[in-house]
Chains A and B, each alone.
Chain A
Amino acid sequence: MAKLRPEWIALCTAAIGLAYSAGYVVTEPRPIAAAPASHSVQVQSDNRASASAGGESASEAEEHQGRTTQKKQNRTTATTIRKKSGYKDGTYSGQGMNRIGAVAVSVTIKQGKIASVQITDCTTSYPEIKIDQLPAQVVSRQNANVDNVSGATESTSDFVTAVAQALTQAKA
């Protein structure tokens, strides 16, 4: 690697150090057992199996998943805390279909803010048609001999429907 000018090393070290340590001390006390997020993964798979929380039967849910592009979403866990953003704390899932296949996300709201949007399913079983712009993760999967791919920042348009579904639940 080329030898980076020392003032830039100093500036970056200070910037990351300040931003990182402040997170611990002031705004983000470290969660001890961060249960909600891992829970959400579990809940997601539970939804797929039973889909009872949303008041729709499992067979109906399966049918939605299998045949249409409009998927159902379940509010999985929710407390009654509502903050300025209008989101209630909890974990919510959303699903959708798009050009790369089926996608599912799990959105966790903490203190009224989006704490994470995890992709819980991204089945890239795209059909034979030529797709212009595949996400890097798909490209890296196709190029089995690389660990990952660096490129211009891709947008998340493939996931918008799924995320919107989950956020609608969080606002309800």
Chain B
Amino acid sequence: MTVEKDFICMDTIVMIRVVSGKPKQEQVQSILRAAGQFYRVEQSCSRFDSGSELMRLPDKTDVPIRVSPVLFSAIQFAVSAAAETGGKFDPSIGRSLEKRGFNRNYLTGERIHSDEVHPAQATYRDIVVNPVNRTITLRKPMVIDLGAVAKGMAIDLAAAELRNEGYEHFLVNAGGDIFAAGRNEQKEPWKIGIRHPVHHDEIAGTVRLENAAICTSGGYERPSSVLPGEHHLLDPLSGHSPSQLSSCSVIAPFAMLADAFSTAAIVLGPDEGIKKMEEMGLDCLMITRDMNVTSTKKFKEAGSWNPVL
């Protein structure tokens, strides 16, 4: 039997669908527990909630701060992704995103305004993580943004929850970022469409996934309310939204990887991005502004890519 529930969390729609022989009520309870992981991550990692653990971190610099396992994992992962991309992906850009209008709490409508930061702009290098003591030390004042990490991590945690409860076949979709476990109702690998970046009710093609995540980044859903032509993705080094790619999808064994590196690759652009994904061993498909499709060598094979474009 297939049971599906939809939730709202992290300013998007979270869909969890399980396929199993268990009684329906039991499946519903398992889905609710899996969904609980999203709220847990949001309460730790949200930049849009002044009450989140992230936004309650002390302002003090150069002092190690002990944080929760969820927040620690998210920050450590984000800093590692930043180092991997030489700062093209950078979690220290929270304040810049606020200035670009991305500071509104989707539930309350309240806007977060952090104090002006020191003129010397912080980078990910100013975040020191200590896994032994589980502490974070900020060497410059900053607002950390986990926007390209937290959702993927919550998907992975929800998947862990479902696996732990004995499910093999399920789909977790958080606003277009997906983990597909096992097989669908027809006992085939899950068939996932990649959304067309321009025609929103169409798909650009499909992939088949079995125990893998796919995340897609694109500027088409979240334009900046204050800067014309800019959107929620930011190249930390240029200070502008990346413009060469309309959409970038990454397939990975973990949603947090696919989430962070679909964002990183769109900032890196078509050439550097594909090169980096090949080097890391991630499968990536990019759609340029003029609707050309490029991908890593193994993407088409990995996902049984079937283009519609």
Contacts and interface: CB of A to CB of B under 8 A. Distances in A.
B18 interface: no
Given A38-B29, A155-B12, A116 B6 contact: no
Given A8-B257, A16-B153, A16-B157, A148 B15 contact: yes
Interface residues of A, number: 68
Interface stretch (B93-101, B114-122, B235-243, B246-254): B246-254
Chain B, interface SS category: mixed
Contacts of B202: 139
Interface residues of B, number: 88
Interface string B211-240: 010111111111000000000000000000
A156 B282 CA distance: 30
Given A116-B32, A122-B6, A136-B13, A152 B220 contact: yes
Contacts of B190: 147-148
Contacts of B271: none
Given A4-B280, A131-B201, A152 B192 contact: no
Given A12-B253, A16-B254, A152-B219, A37 B9 contact: no
Interface stretch (B57-65, B136-144, B168-176): B168-176
Contacts of A2: 278, 281-283, 296, 298, 302
A15 B201 contact: no
Interface string B170-190: 010111111010001000001
Contacts of A19: 41, 69-70, 73-74, 153, 157
Interface of B: 5-9, 11-13, 15, 25, 28-29, 32-33, 35-37, 39-41, 43, 51, 68-70, 72-74, 76-77, 80, 106-109, 151, 153, 156-157, 160-161, 171, 173-178, 180, 184, 190-195, 197, 200-203, 206, 212, 214-222, 247, 249, 251-254, 256-257, 278, 280-283, 296, 298, 302
